[in-house]
Amino acid sequence: MFCFYSGTQKKHVLKDYCQLLSNGTHECQYVLSQAYRKFWGVSDSEVKYVTSQFCPDLNISSCHVTEGRSQFLVTLYNTLSWPVSIDVRFPVQFKQMTVTNWNGDEAPYQIVPVHEHIQRIPERVSNVDSELVMLTTLPPMSISTFVVKPHEDEVATVQYEDNYGLNKHLVIENEHLSLTFDTSSGLLVRMTNKDSALTESVSQDFNYYEAQQDIHRFSGAYVFIPKHPATIRVSGEKKVNLRLVKGPLVQEIHQTFSPWVSQVIRLYKGSKHAEFQWTVGPIDDSDRQGKEVISIFTTSIVNSDTFYTDSNGRELMERVKDVRDTWNYQPKDHVSGNYYPVTSRIIIRDPEKNVQLTVLPDRPQGGSSLGSGVVELMVHRKLLNDDGLGVGEALNDVGSDKEGVIYTGTYIKSPPWIVEIWVTHMLPDTMCSVGFLPGL
């Protein structure tokens, strides 16, 4: 497991944090393995034939168990007290598989490609270029087990499309949502909520702020100081490359913005939200300029300089650009002065149309709404100077290859909903392990 903590510690402190986290994780995995043995009814004499292993690197599509064996078990543990519908993904070497639950009933699945950017992550120990995707609903506080085996029949049909004509639009959709992409730019252009027949202009892109590197002020671990309020597009004037993947369980758009920024936008069968999995890094510093990369959503929502962020995952806090409720605020930094911590969600609302847009990150990030209908979240930073506030190191993390680190993360993004709907979207809390039983 290769880990990073964002924060203000030196690199040797970061390594210690990661070691402590790794130790604690392994202890928890041992306890869960013992619980799985009880669940499977494994006797002490059979222990040497039964192995339960965890896959901590599934977010970069790496799991030596599912890649190295043709037959295995997948065990899912729902830690919540209510049913959870989730998608499960793991890398596989075969294109035809059979997936059954513990009762022998077949479960639908789909084979999808892994984005090339993910395949290039140095910490990903894998030669597999495909993932198996399955959708399932887990009962509350329960363990569900699936058996995965190779099969000779044809796999569920998946369509790929890489070449498009000018002015052509690509659409991914399910029963509830529709997302439209402009192939001339390669960007998302609109989103439709089929349930309410509501369509809004929605675009998403990756930009970056040039970090302040003036001799007297530096953007760094403690402070975010952009050189200019305007951002620069990662892709510049170039078209974003697209790849369309369509199948019975999930439809995907694979976007490549530059050699160091990519994204997969997914729409699962029956889902009422879209998923954005971004991968950023190593940030290009060939121009010796620090960069602070954002994911930016631009919509037709008129939010009048008002947006909402959560208070450490709890209540929503109203934020108004360049305004403080308790004192006469004189803004000097119009960008960083309006950035707030986003632990679980950031929201903009249009009171006239009674709609809102919600973005849920999978980790705490800085975020803001600096223009009408705009939401931005900071996804990665690479800085070449220390800010002089105590760390004594530039914020310039490197990966296992000693190059700039690559981060990958996920946003759940709601379509234009009526205001009351946002509370229904939560990230599932589920644990996944794989293992073997005698006879597999």
Q: What is the pTM of this model?
A: 0.89
Per-state percent for the chain, helix, strand, coil, to nearest 5: 15, 40, 45
Cβ count within 10 A of residue 131: 20
Asked if residue 378 has pLDDT above 90, the reply is yes
Token representation of residue 135: 């959708």
Distance CA 308, CA 346 (A): 6
The CA-atom distances, in angstroms, between 395 and each of 285, 340, 362, 411 are 13, 20, 22, 24
- Tell me how many degrees the CA angle 418-424-425 measures, rounded to the nearest 5: 100
Distance CA 240, CA 204 (A): 11
- Top-ranked range on mean pLDDT: pick from 67-81, 212-226, 288-302, 422-436: 288-302
Residue type, 405: V
pLDDT band at 343, cuts 50/70/90? very high
Q: What is the mean pLDDT of residues 122-150?
A: 91
Token representation of residue 153: 């029949």
Phi-psi label, residue 144: left if phi above 0, alpha if psi -120 to 50, beta otherwise: beta
Distance CA 26, CA 7 (A): 24
Strand duo 72-78 + 109-113: pairing: unpaired
Sign of the alpha-carbon dihedral angle for 27, 29, 35, 38: negative
Asked if residue 283 has pLDDT above 90, the reply is yes
Token representation of residue 199: 């369509």
pLDDT digit string (tens) for 220-267? 989 999 999 999 999 999 999 999 999 999 999 999 999 999 999 999
Token representation of residue 386: 């220390």
Report the DSSP beta bridge partners of residue 209. 292
- Nearest by Cα to 144 from 375, 428, 355: 428
pLDDT digit string (tens) for 170-216? 999 999 999 999 999 999 999 999 998 888 899 999 999 999 998 78
User: Is the CB of residue 284 less than 8 Å from the CB of residue 261?
Assistant: no
